[in-house]
Amino acid sequence: MAPHWNNLLSRCPDHRFTQTVAWAETGWRLVCQPRGRELHCLSLWSEERLVGVWPLVTHLEDRRRIVRPLGAEASEYCAPLVEPGIDARRRMERLWQAAAGLGDLAILPYVREDSAFASVAGTAGLWRAADFPAPALSAPRCNYADWTAYQASLTASVRATLRRARRRLAEKGDFVISVEPRTGRAEAVDWLLARKKRWLASQGMSSAWIGRQDYRNFLAALAEASDGETGVILFTLKVDGVTIAADLVTVDGARVEALIGAYDPAWSSYSPGQLITEHCLSWAFARNLDYDMRIGEAAYKRGWAPCCCGTETWYVATSLRGLPFVLQRWRVVGLRRLRTHLARMKNETKAVLARRLARVSLPILLVHMNRNPVPGDMLVGLLGYA
């Protein structure tokens, strides 16, 4: 199967590393099989040519059989690998129909709205619920003539921060940003995940996969197998040989995807996260690759990645057993959206009232001042500039 799969990958120039044999095989061996999942590798053939493949797993949960993509069971995008062409949509629908017959509830995480699979997932089944939209930010290589043009698109503040950070780090010692050598990759993965877990805790957040031993083993195995140009690659920023920041990315023939990044908070004033992000972007641009900062709309990403693509996680009831879960998701998502909408309306109403009050109050205040002059320092306070 692997030779046919690799041949299909060669005919799909826009494929992601998460759709490769290596990702699926490592996910099965280190994550899904130890968890007791059942493997289902769906394939479509045209005569002797593989034209579509979708590796899935199933498992029982609350008396429902769950269908989900094979992999790390973390934050990878969901889409079957299908040969491009006029038959692509029909083939995706056939793969989906086969997947729907495997269980009671299908979980399709992070389906990109710009993917061909989005239209299939969005109409799948009679009963489905979408989780909250999750934007994915990116910097497409084709939008810039070269690296210099991209740098010029950054704000003056970002460029100044980078210059200052490089200067200050050079004063602290010899700093180097590079691909971590194979012998140190497992240790670097441990360093990265530990810092990420601490940062999440400091923000009052948690992750369903950061901190999982099988996820750590999965990343370490793929990083150690990489040739340093494709697959899972680990970039590290070191000062006098000591790691102060790291970024773990996947690399395929079209893009670099930033999976996890973290830095030592003791060095935060030196902007190590900004420096290593810039290095990873320049590394991608040198190879004519897009840079996908992936899921999440963190403020720092906006400065680097101006393009946004929505993603949605779909829960599709493929039998009556899956229906209660979908209805529950409707309730949870609907209530949260309603609260968000009401909070937005409240804030907008406050802003409108404040503007109207200012328009009415200022003339009244000026009339009052003409009749009753006040000291200058009191005037500053009245006008709200104190």
Which positions of the chain have pLDDT values less than 50? 365, 374, 376-386
pLDDT of residue 386: 38
Considering only CA atoms, which of 37, 49, 45, 56 is closest in space to residue 96?
56
**What confidence tens digit (pLDDT) does each residue in 234-281 have?**
999 999 999 999 999 999 999 999 999 999 999 999 999 999 999 999
pTM (two decimals): 0.84
Whether residue 22 contacts residue 225, with contact meaning beta carbons closer than 8 Å, is answered with yes
Type of residue numbered 236: T
Give the separation between CA 319 and CA 336, rounded to whole angstroms.
26
Count of CB atoms situated within 10 Å of the CB of 29? 13
Cα–Cα distances (Å) from 158 to 199, 229, 302, 303, 356, in that order, read 22, 28, 11, 7, 37
pLDDT of residue 298: 80
Amino acid occupying residue 266: A
Angle between the 185-202 and 213-225 helix axes, to the nearest 10 degrees?
140
For residue 277, the model assigns a pLDDT of 96
Fold match flag (2-124 vs 138-309) = yes
According to the model, what pLDDT value does residue 380 have?
Answer: 39
DSSP assigned state of 124: -
Per-residue pLDDT of 97-132, as tens digits, reads 999 999 999 999 999 999 999 989 877 766 888 887
| Domain residue limits, the chain | 2-124, 138-309, 340-382
Query: Class for domain 2-124, per CATH?
Result: alpha beta
Q: Which of 184, 149, 192 is nearest to 281 (CA)?
A: 149
State the pLDDT at residue 379.
Answer: 40
Q: Positive or negative CA dihedral for 335, 340, 341, 346?
A: positive
Q: How many angstroms separate the CA atoms of 54 and 81, rounded?
A: 6
Give the contacts of 164 (CB within 8 A, at least 6 positions apart).
271
Fold of the domain spanning 138-309: Aminopeptidase (3.40.630)
